[in-house]
A and B are shown apart, each in its own frame.
Chain A
Amino acid sequence: MTFLLVLALWSAAFWCHECLQPRTRTAFPRQTGAVSVNQIVRALTPCLALTLCLFEDPALGIFYWLGLGSTAGLGTSVLMAVLKQKRGLARMSKTPL
């Protein structure tokens, strides 16, 4: 359960990081004050995730934190890509090779 929470926290951090990029502004329009919220979430959630990991397993917590962070980043990037495609912002696919 803790690890799921860590995964969610990391995902939130990555989501906010992507939302802060200028290219995402057109896909997900921001409201006033959203920038500060995104910045705060981006800064705090990884720290919170680290605290949870260390609380769960003081010896190996750092490894869980790094591993779950990478996995969450991968998941968020794929989710973002799919959402952007749904909103018609990505170009059409071509054959991969």
Chain B
Amino acid sequence: MRETLRVHMGWLHSWVGFLAGLLLACVFASGTLAVFDTEITQWMQPEVSLTQETSLTPTALQAAAQTIQAEEGKGLSAFLTLPSHRDPVLRVLHYDGYEFVGTALNSETGAVFPARETAGGQFFYNFHFSLRGGNQPGVQIVTFLGLCLMVAIGSGLVIHIKALWPDLILFRPFGARPRAWVDAHLIAGVLFLPFIAFMGYTGTAIHARVLLPAEPFFRSHTAAPHKKEKTAPKGRVLQAGPLPPPLAPLIAQARDILRSPDGNLVLFTPDEVHIFKSDAFGPFLTRDHVDFSRKDGHLLRSVTQSPPAVATMQLVRGLHYARYAPLPLRWLYFLSGLAATALAASGLVVFLMKRRRSSGEQFFFRVAEALTMTTVVGFPTATLGVFWANRCLPTALSGRAMMEIDLFFIVWGLCAAHALLLSLTRLAASGWRQQLGVLAGAGCGLPVLDLASRSHAWGQGASVFMAADALAFLTGLIALCALLKLREPAA
């Protein structure tokens, strides 16, 4: 075989793409869901009313301040998110090591909503950048996968460069088997290339320091050991502060300085109250803030200017996190995320199809097929499992949030075990069909379950529920179509 550049790059693209793609597909899918993390949390907490105004009353803020102090008494570093158009409730949150969880308060009365305990959309957000594995090894793995993605994109471009322009929108779903899948892979990759490359680059750049810390691998023995200041672990406080002063005037003053009319973040230290600008105003994820004394509420300082280097990083973060995006743009992010997921999934299928004839009988091929099944069908099934668990588990159950997450991993693990068992016993086709059947049932059944649970009203403010149910139903429908297609006898 002639070792042309195209052949060489094709080999690199296939292997890097397949090995990284097994997890990248899950990272893309969870990132796509994380675009609507707040809305998923709202779906998962139907007890929280979404029809109220975003205005804040001193009573509500006083109740929030008391809750904050109570949380600090338990050693938790709690903070406030003020109501916004996207999430019109007052939330007292803390970091539990993985997600930001806490209570929701009515922004007018300050009454606590008796909402069920859930990790909500935060789970998908955390899974997206760390696979829920913390900084080490979770974030490191995802960052490494980001580098692999960039390599796969580069090599893919080299392979396809000559056909890139003429075959820009060439799609032959009714063509021969591998052709249709290759076309789907190329269509998703080429049309959404700016989005995928940009998100891959920014995601990798944001967390590169976790993969390659700025410390020498081999430390000098003569160097003095680095002294660490005594700090509380992330999400915890060493000492509780006094009850904060009335927050309403502080928030009004901060909003005036920051020119941020709603959705601010309020952080507390034992001595100070920090009010941050909302992320919803512009693509720069600024950390502009105004600080007040926690004792008497007098203004300490305001930080509203960023040098160019800082502003660049703010833009990189802002564009990746998309918290600034209005609803139509958020949907475009979501669609592009779906395309990225389809790119990875179709790439995995193409890899298997190309090798089935030559290596289909080999052990490693069977393992590869099982892993592909676990990623392509198992991951969405486990995701829908979280939604099912949210409606099926008793609302007053303690440790409910953790149970939902455990269920996700149990379902995913079961899918993996099922896929491995059937693939290794040469029944992979049945495995695909059975898992697609479960996915179709889970997806199409979710709206019925949501309706039957009667957990919320279907009147005003139900668009979140309708959209989530419709998307789940659509997922089920796509799985059903794939299942029916697989049942057709091969021509």
Direct A–B touching, Cβ under 8 Å: yes
A-to-B contact residues, CB < 8 Å: 3, 14, 17-18, 21, 23, 59-60, 63-64, 66-71, 73-74, 76-78, 80-81, 85, 90-97
Q: A70-B195, A81-B172, A96-B486 are in contact. Are A21 and B332 (CB under 8 A)?
A: no
B283 interfacial by beta-carbon distance below 8 Å: yes
Q: Are A73 and B491 in contact (CB under 8 A)?
A: no
- In whole angstroms, how far apart are the Cα atoms of A14 and B333 in the complex? 21
Question: Which residues of chain B in 170-185 are interfacial with respect to chain A, using CB atoms and an 8 Å cutoff?
Answer: 170-177, 180-181
Q: Could you list 17 A-B pairs, sorted by A, with CB under 8 Å?
A: A18-B169, A60-B325, A63-B329, A70-B335, A71-B332, A73-B168, A73-B169, A76-B169, A77-B187, A81-B172, A90-B175, A94-B491, A95-B177, A95-B485, A96-B349, A97-B349, A97-B429
Q: Are B171 and A77 in contact (CB under 8 A)?
A: yes
- In whole angstroms, how far apart are the Cα atoms of A71 and B192 in the complex? 8
Q: Which residue of A lies closest to B326 (CB)?
A: A60
Q: A70-B191, A91-B175 are in contact. Are A60 and B169 (CB under 8 A)?
A: no
- In whole angstroms, how far apart are the Cα atoms of A80 and B168 in the complex? 12
**The 7 A-B residue pairs with the shortest CB-CB distance in the complex, in nearest-first order:** A67-B332, A77-B169, A77-B171, A90-B174, A73-B191, A70-B191, A94-B491
A18 to chain B, nearest CB (A): 6
Q: Which residue of A lies closest to B334 (CB)?
A: A67
- In whole angstroms, how far apart are the Cα atoms of A70 and B338 in the complex? 12
Q: Are A85 and B486 in contact (CB under 8 A)?
A: no
Q: Are B332 and A63 in contact (CB under 8 A)?
A: yes
B259 to chain A, nearest CB (A): 15
B482 interfacial by beta-carbon distance below 8 Å: yes
Kindly list chain B residues whose C-beta atoms are within 8 Å of the C-beta of A3: 328
Encode B421-447 as 1/0 by CB contact (under 8 A) with A: 000000001001000000000000000
Q: A66-B194, A95-B490, A97-B486 are in contact. Are A80 and B177 (CB under 8 A)?
A: no
Kindly list chain A residues whose C-beta atoms are within 8 Å of the C-beta of B489: 95
Q: A59-B282, A92-B174, A92-B491 are in contact. Are A17 and B328 (CB under 8 A)?
A: no
Q: Are B174 and A97 in contact (CB under 8 A)?
A: no
A94 to chain B, nearest CB (A): 5
Encode B3-44 as 1/0 by CB contact (under 8 A) with A: 000000000000000000000000000000000000000000
Q: Are B336 and A70 in contact (CB under 8 A)?
A: yes
- In whole angstroms, how far apart are the Cα atoms of A32 and B174 in the complex? 31
A12 to chain B, nearest CB (A): 12
Kindly list chain B residues whose C-beta atoms are within 8 Å of the C-beta of A92: 174, 491
Q: A17-B168, A66-B195, A73-B168 are in contact. Are A93 and B491 (CB under 8 A)?
A: yes
Kindly list chain B residues whose C-beta atoms are within 8 Å of the C-beta of A21: 166, 170
B479 to chain A, nearest CB (A): 13
- In whole angstroms, how far apart are the Cα atoms of A66 and B325 in the complex? 14
- In whole angstroms, how far apart are the Cα atoms of A97 and B324 in the complex? 41
11 further A-B contacts with Cβ under 8 Å, apart from A14-B168, A66-B195, A90-B174, are A18-B169, A21-B166, A63-B329, A67-B333, A68-B332, A70-B195, A78-B173, A80-B169, A94-B176, A95-B177, A96-B181
Question: Which residues of chain B in 306-353 are interfacial with respect to chain A, using CB atoms and an 8 Å cutoff?
Answer: 324-326, 328-329, 332-333, 335-336, 339, 349, 353
Of A18, A91, A96, the contact of B482 (CB 8 Å cutoff): A96
Q: Are A91 and B171 in contact (CB under 8 A)?
A: no
Q: Are B486 and A81 in contact (CB under 8 A)?
A: no
Kindly list chain A residues whose C-beta atoms are within 8 Å of the C-beta of B229: none
A1 to chain B, nearest CB (A): 12
Q: A67-B329, A67-B332, A71-B332 are in contact. Are A97 and B191 (CB under 8 A)?
A: no
Kindly list chain A residues whose C-beta atoms are within 8 Å of the C-beta of B335: 67, 70-71
Q: Are B170 and A77 in contact (CB under 8 A)?
A: yes
Kindly list chain B residues whose C-beta atoms are within 8 Å of the C-beta of A96: 177, 180-181, 349, 482, 485-486
Q: Are A97 and B432 in contact (CB under 8 A)?
A: yes
Q: Are A60 and B329 in contact (CB under 8 A)?
A: yes
B488 interfacial by beta-carbon distance below 8 Å: yes
Kindly list chain A residues whose C-beta atoms are within 8 Å of the C-beta of B482: 96
- In whole angstroms, how far apart are the Cα atoms of A21 and B336 in the complex? 26
Q: Are B195 and A80 in contact (CB under 8 A)?
A: no
- In whole angstroms, how far apart are the Cα atoms of A95 and B177 in the complex? 7
Of B173, B283, B339, B490, the contact of A70 (CB 8 Å cutoff): B339
Q: A59-B282, A60-B329, A73-B191 are in contact. Are A95 and B173 (CB under 8 A)?
A: no
- In whole angstroms, how far apart are the Cα atoms of A93 and B178 in the complex? 11
B42 to chain A, nearest CB (A): 24
Q: Which residue of B lies closest to A72 (CB)?
A: B191
- In whole angstroms, how far apart are the Cα atoms of A70 and B340 in the complex? 12
- In whole angstroms, how far apart are the Cα atoms of A74 and B485 in the complex? 22
B459 to chain A, nearest CB (A): 28
- In whole angstroms, how far apart are the Cα atoms of A67 and B353 in the complex? 31
Kindly list chain A residues whose C-beta atoms are within 8 Å of the C-beta of B174: 81, 85, 90-93
A7 to chain B, nearest CB (A): 11
Kindly list chain B residues whose C-beta atoms are within 8 Å of the C-beta of A93: 173-174, 180, 491
Kindly list chain A residues whose C-beta atoms are within 8 Å of the C-beta of B339: 70, 74
